[in-house]
Structure 1
Amino acid sequence: MHIDNIKLPLLLRAIILSAVFLQSCQQPPQTDSNELVVAAASDLMKASQDLKNAFEQTSNTKVKFSFGPSGQLEQQIRQGAPFDVFLPAAISYGESLQRDDLLDGNITIYAIGRLVAWSSSIQINSLDDLRLPDIRSIALANPQYAPYGVAARQALQSLGLWEAVQPKLLYAYSVANALQLAETGSADVALVAVALVQDTGSPYLLIDSALHAPIQQAAVVLRSSQNLPAARAFVEFLQSEQAQNILRMYGFEHP
């Protein structure tokens, strides 16, 4: 976007928040033999604690999540990050690793994500409202790395809005960072995952899923895992009724 489309302090705040978020997500976690390390798309940030607790109740293995945009996590995996399970928000990232024989077993689609338009201060009744002059900045995850950014772009293109809102767009590191920009006032609206906003108390617009490709939440076990039995058990757990009920509470849909 052009700098003159928003006030400079607002832009600086967005840049600083994105940089801080990026630094917190870039470093893969240290591991020990009793932990299962799950690289997960950022839309799972809020659901992850409930999933972790439920799995650990029936397993001797502790779960640690590492969050980020799916594309960045895939790059970390290729660079040797010590992950056991990868949960991208698009099947394509699992397919890419599968082509290079980096997976143990097949790709599982365990849920479908939903895209929303969210604002803490503006009532959004339709995506066409994004044209309104009161909405000066719109945050979305960078489509280069984040499936929710791709879905947001597709939805806007489907409605013929993409070119009209170009000057308002703020590209965030991840879908969680896009929400953070809107929560702090650095963006007026965020196009993000419903799983991240259900507990905010602010209304949101659920975007018609027919406007974009399905946001397929994939699960894969990495061949490099040092704990393959537990990794396989975790992916199987995600398909269980208990896990599906948890995911449904956060707005995910059954595949």
Structure 2
Amino acid sequence: ATGKQYAQIRHGAPFDLFFAADSRRPELLESEGFTQPGSRFTYALGKLVLWSPLPAYVDPQGKTLEQGDFKHLAMANPRLAPYGKAAREVLQALGLWQRLQPRTVRGENIGQAFQFVKSGNAELGLVAWSQIKRAGPPAPGSHWAVPTLLYSPIEQQAVVLKPSKATREFAAFVRSNEVKALIRDSGYDLP
């Protein structure tokens, strides 16, 4: 999880690069002097979806949330995870935050929230589009692509922590057109 890695870096973890699921932690590391100055960049923009592995369970307009015909809604913890913060913003924008609290199951991060749904422990979840899109056809089931105007941008940033020729070259490679195409094919938008 981004927050845990941030804490590890602040306590001396031997990482050369940090790829975060948000922009806040790279900005903090930069302001705290843990990064190579000027190395921070946005590599992807995350997208949120409402997903169920069950076909036709989630309607294309997202009315499934309002209808409430489910026992559990998985999401990442909004206090810890950028995708959880976005999920909370969506539910607040739809006026459903308070009503759905008793049915919400929170994962420590977006990966755990996805596993709750994939395993059947929750019927549906607000997860990352990249988790169901992958680099091919989407995972089986049904989904609603949450309009991005319902949540703050999930700006995912990277930063060089320990300067070296290899880290500079890898950071440049991540910004290449070849990698940008892979990022887009994997379910992200580009900055």
Check whether TM > 0.5: yes
Match of 2:142 among 182, 203, 218: 203
Pair 1:114 & 2:47 matched? yes
Does the CA contact (< 8 Å) of 2:49 and 2:143 recur in 1?
yes
Residue equivalent to 2:181: 245
Question: Structure 1: which 5+ residue stretches go unaligned?
Answer: 1-68
User: How many Å separate the matches in 1 of 2:108 and 2:156?
Assistant: 19
Which structure 1 residue ranges, 4+ long, deviate > 4 Å from structure 2? none
Letter in 2 for 1:77: I
1:33-76 C-alpha deviation (Å, 9 max, x unpaired)? xxxxxxxxxxxxxxxxxxxxxxxxxxxxxxxxxxxx21111111
| Aligned residues: CA RMSD | 1.4
Higher relative contact order (CA 8 A, sep 6+): 2
Does the CA contact (< 8 Å) of 2:2 and 2:25 recur in 1?
yes
User: How many Å separate the matches in 1 of 2:50 and 2:15?
Assistant: 32
User: How many Å separate the matches in 2 of 1:133 and 1:95?
Assistant: 38
For residue 166 of structure 1, give the secondary structure of its aligned residue in structure 2. Answer: helix
Residue equivalent to 2:160: 221
The 5 Å alignment of 1:58-97 reads 69-97=1-29
Match of 2:36 among 101, 104, 108: 104
Does the CA contact (< 8 Å) of 1:141 and 1:148 recur in 2?
yes
> Bigger shift: 196-205 or 145-154?
196-205
Does the CA contact (< 8 Å) of 2:130 and 2:186 recur in 1?
yes
Does the CA contact (< 8 Å) of 2:23 and 2:157 recur in 1?
yes
Letter in 2 for 1:212: Y
Question: Structure 2: which 5+ residue stretches go unaligned?
Answer: none
Residue equivalent to 1:62: none
Letter in 2 for 1:232: R
Aligned residues: 184
User: How many Å separate the matches in 2 of 1:166 and 1:124?
Assistant: 21
1:189-231 C-alpha deviation (Å, 9 max, x unpaired)? 1111111102412231111011111010101011xx3x62211
Instruction: Please state how far the C-alpha of 1:125 moved relative to its aligned partner.
Output: 3.1
Residue equivalent to 2:168: 232
Query: What is the TM-score of this pair, normalised by structure 2?
Result: 0.91
Does the CA contact (< 8 Å) of 1:182 and 1:188 recur in 2?
yes
User: How many Å separate the matches in 2 of 1:81 and 1:218?
Assistant: 19
User: How many Å separate the matches in 2 of 1:250 and 1:233?
Assistant: 22
Does the CA contact (< 8 Å) of 1:119 and 1:189 recur in 2?
yes
Query: What is the TM-score of this pair, normalised by structure 1?
Result: 0.69
